[in-house]
A and B are shown apart, each in its own frame.
Chain A
Amino acid sequence: MDLNASLYLVRPEAILSFSALALLLVAAWRSEAGRLVSILAVAALVGAGAYVVHFLCADTNALAFDGLFGNDAFGNFSKILIYVAAAISLMIAPRFLEQAGAMRAEYPVLILLAVTGMGIMVSATDLITLYIGLELNSLAAYVLASFVRSDGRSAEAGLKYFVLGALASGILLFGMSLLYGFTGSTSFAAIGTALDGEISLGMIFGIVFVLSGLAFKISAAPFHMWTPDVYEGAPTPVTAFFASAPKVAASALTIRVVIEAFGNEPMVWQQIIIVIALMSIIIGAVGAIGQQNLKRLMAYSSINNVGFILIGLAAGTEAGVAAMLVYLAIYVAMTLGGFICLMQLQDKEGGYRETFADIAGLSKTRPALAAAFAIFMFSLAGIPPLFGFWGKLVVFNAAVAAGLLPLAVIGIAASVIGAFYYLKVVKVMYFDEPADVIAAGNDKVLAWTGGILAAVNSPLGYFTIPVLGVVTAQAAKALF
Chain B
Amino acid sequence: MNAGSIPILSIMLAVPMLAAIACLFARAEMARIVALTATLFNLALGLWLWVSYDPAGQQWQFTESASLFGPIGWKLGIDGISLTLIMLSVFLMPICIGASWRSITTRVGEYMAAFLLMETLMIGVFAAQDLMLFYIFFEAGLIPMYLIIGIWGGAERIYASYKFFLYTLLGSVVMLIAMLWMIQFAGTADIPILLNTDFPVDAQKWLWLAFFASFAVKMPMWPVHTWLPDAHVQAPTAGSVILAGVLLKMGGYGFLRFSLPMFPEASANFIPLVFGLSMVAVVYTSLVALVQNDMKKLIAYSSVAHMAIVTVGLFTFNQQGIEGAIIVMLSHGLVSGALFLCVGVIYDRLHTREINRYGGLSINMPKYALLFMLFTMASVGLPGTSGFVGEFLSLAGAYKVSTWATLITTTGIILGAGYMLYLYRRIAFGAQVNADAAAMPDMDSREMWLLAPIAVAVIWMGVYPETFLAPIRRDVATIVARVERAAPAGDSKLKPNDPTTAKYRVGGHAQEKAAEGSQH
Contact = CB atoms under 8 A, between A and B. Distances in A.
Interface of A: 364, 378, 383-385, 389, 393, 396-397, 400-401, 405, 408-409, 412-413, 415-416, 419-420, 423, 426-427, 430-431, 462-463, 465-466, 468-469
A419 B157 contact: no
A81 B184 CA distance: 29
A466 B146 contact: no
Given A383-B169, A419-B166, A420-B162, 12 more contacts: A383-B139, A385-B137, A400-B180, A405-B181, A409-B174, A409-B177, A430-B150, A431-B150, A431-B157, A462-B68, A462-B72, A466-B70
A409 B180 CA distance: 11
Nearest to A378: B143
B353 to A, nearest CB: 20
Given A396-B176, A431-B150, A431-B151, A416 B166 contact: yes
A420 B164 CA distance: 12
A385 B20 CA distance: 15
A469 B140 contact: no
A385 B147 CA distance: 15
B490 interface: no
Contacts of B67: 466
Nearest to B142: A383
A415 B173 contact: yes
Given A419-B169, A427-B162, A431-B161, A383 B140 contact: yes
B204 to A, nearest CB: 15
B69 interface: yes
Nearest to B67: A466
A86 to B, nearest CB: 28
B161 A427 contact: yes
A342 B171 CA distance: 32
21 contacts: A378-B143, A385-B137, A389-B136, A396-B177, A397-B180, A405-B177, A409-B177, A412-B177, A419-B169, A420-B166, A423-B162, A423-B166, A427-B161, A427-B162, A430-B150, A430-B151, A431-B151, A462-B68, A462-B72, A463-B69, A466-B67
Contacts of B183: 397
B438 interface: no
Given A400-B177, A423-B146, A466 B161 contact: no
Interface in B326-360: none
Interface string B105-144: 0010000000000000000000000001001110110110
Contact of B169 (A408, A416, A463, A465): A416
B165 interface: yes
* Chain B contact patch, size range: 35 or more
Max chain A Cβ within 10 angstroms of own Cβ: one of B132, B139, B150, B169: B169
A415 B139 CA distance: 14
Interface in B308-337: none
B70 to A, nearest CB: 4
A376 B173 CA distance: 20
Contacts of A400: 177, 180-181, 184
B140 A408 contact: no
B71 A419 contact: no
B484 to A, nearest CB: 30
Contacts of A378: 143
The 5 closest A-B pairs by CB, nearest first: A465-B70, A384-B136, A385-B140, A400-B180, A412-B173
A145 to B, nearest CB: 35
B138 to A, nearest CB: 8
Given A384-B136, A405-B181, A465 B142 contact: no
B407 interface: no
A51 to B, nearest CB: 28
A81 B370 CA distance: 65
B439 interface: no
A413 B165 contact: no
Interface in B72-126: 72, 107
A240 B83 CA distance: 48
Contacts of A462: 68-69, 72
B158 interface: yes
Given A384-B136, A420-B166, A465-B71, A401 B177 contact: no
Interface of B: 67-72, 107, 132, 135-137, 139-140, 142-143, 146-147, 150-151, 157-158, 161-162, 165-166, 169-170, 173-174, 176-177, 180-181, 183-184
B69 A466 contact: yes
A426 B147 CA distance: 9
A64 B440 CA distance: 86
B211 to A, nearest CB: 14
Given A405-B181, A469-B71, A384 B174 contact: no
Contacts of A393: 132, 176, 180
B470 to A, nearest CB: 34
A384 B67 CA distance: 18
B173 A416 contact: yes
Contacts of B132: 393
B188 to A, nearest CB: 14
Nearest to A414: B173
A396 B135 CA distance: 14
Max chain B Cβ within 10 angstroms of own Cβ: one of A378, A427, A463: A427
Contacts of A405: 177, 181
Contacts of B169: 383, 416, 419
B176 A413 contact: no
B119 to A, nearest CB: 14
B337 to A, nearest CB: 25
A377 B507 CA distance: 57
A423 B167 CA distance: 13
Contacts of A465: 69-72
A427 B67 CA distance: 36
Given A384-B135, A400-B177, A413-B173, A469 B147 contact: no
B455 to A, nearest CB: 35
Nearest to B70: A465
Contact of A419 (B140, B151, B165, B181): B165
Contact of A427 (B137, B139, B150, B177): B150
B150 A384 contact: no
A381 to B, nearest CB: 9
A462 to B, nearest CB: 4
Nearest to B153: A431
A249 B4 CA distance: 51
A127 B262 CA distance: 51
Contacts of B142: 383
Nearest to A412: B173
Contacts of B139: 383-384, 389
A364 B110 CA distance: 11
A419 B71 CA distance: 25
A385 to B, nearest CB: 4
Nearest to A381: B169
Contacts of B68: 462-463
A466 B69 CA distance: 6
A405 B210 CA distance: 12
A416 B107 CA distance: 29
Nearest to B140: A385
A430 B166 CA distance: 17
Contacts of A384: 135-136, 139-140
Contacts of B140: 383-385
B165 to A, nearest CB: 6
Contacts of A427: 150, 158, 161-162
